[in-house]
Each structure stands twice: as structure tokens, then as C-alpha cells.
């Protein structure tokens, strides 16, 4: 199964800028471990929400709102897509992950739909 592993934003990540060099190195090494284990499908970091927008739908109406957005702890700052055997395997891998933020942080794991789910 595929999972999206979502790194939640923090006040620090919403300030922008590059992560510290040691964190980038640690994440690079962790990503290589994921690749070597055959789990890694994709990954990316997201710039702060002041550089983004949301489009709200209501029937035929569309309303665009540019960032920044409130409720920082509900926002995504980055993600991985992994192919794992089950949720427990994904949890074990996340526990091995370096802390993705300089301070406290949260990583959310969500199972992705596959085409056969709609058959």
C-alpha cells in the first residue's frame, strides 16, 4: 500500500528559509535509507503558506485566498510517498526519521487510495 507521510508545519517553518545544514544532511541520509529499503516513491518540501493560495469551491463559485494561513499546526510543510506493507511498517519508519523541525514537530501518516479501491 502507499502512504503519504506528512510533515506538519511549525511557526519556524512558516517563517521561511532553508533548514539547518545538519538537518538537511540527516534527512538526506534517511531518504537514502528509504530508497535502499525500496520504500521511497516521492518526497518534497513546501514553501511557507505566504507563498501559496487556496481556492474554495461552492457550487459553480470559486474564491481564491492568498496565504499566509492560520492554524500552523494543521498545515503541511513537506511530505513523502512510501510503498509499505501496512500502517505499522510506516509507523516504524517514521519513528526512525530525524526530527524534521528544529523544535517539537508532528508527522502524520495517511493511507492513499489505489485504483482497485474504486472498482
pLDDT in tens, the chain (119 residues): 999 999 999 999 999 988 899 999 999 999 999 999 999 999 999 999 999 999 999 999 999 999 999 999 999 999 999 999 999 999 999 999 999 998 999 999 999 999 999 99
Write down the pTM of the prediction.
Answer: 0.93
Pairing, β 2-8 against β 76-83:
antiparallel
Which residue has cell 511549525?
Answer: 10
The architecture of the domain spanning 2-118 is 2-Layer Sandwich (3.30)
CB 73 within 8 A of CB 9: yes
Q: Which of 24, 11, 23, 7 is nearest to 94 (CA)?
A: 7
pLDDT at 30: 98
Q: Nearest Cα to 24, choosing from 83, 104, 78?
A: 78
In the chain, what are the domain boundaries?
2-118
Amino acid at each position: 500500500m502507499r502512504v503519504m507521510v506528512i510533515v506538519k508545519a511549525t511557526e519556524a517553518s512558516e517563517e521561511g528559509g532553508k533548514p539547518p545544514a545538519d538537518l538537511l544532511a540527516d534527512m538526506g541520509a534517511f531518504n537514502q535509507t528509504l530508497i535502499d529499503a525500496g520504500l521511497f516513491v516521492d518526497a518534497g518540501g513546501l514553501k511557507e503558506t505566504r507563498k501559496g493560495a487556496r481556492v474554495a469551491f461552492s457550487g459553480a463559485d470559486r474564491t481564491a485566498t492568498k496565504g499566509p494561513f492560520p492554524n500552523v499546526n494543521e498545515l503541511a510543510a513537506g511530505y513523502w510517498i512510501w510503498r509499505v506493507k501496512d500502517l505499522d511498517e510506516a509507523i516504524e519508519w517514521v519513528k526512525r526519521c530525524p526530527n524534521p523541525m528544529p523544535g517539537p514537530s508532528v508527522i502524520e501518516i495517511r493511507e492513499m487510495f489505489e485504483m482497485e479501491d474504486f472498482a
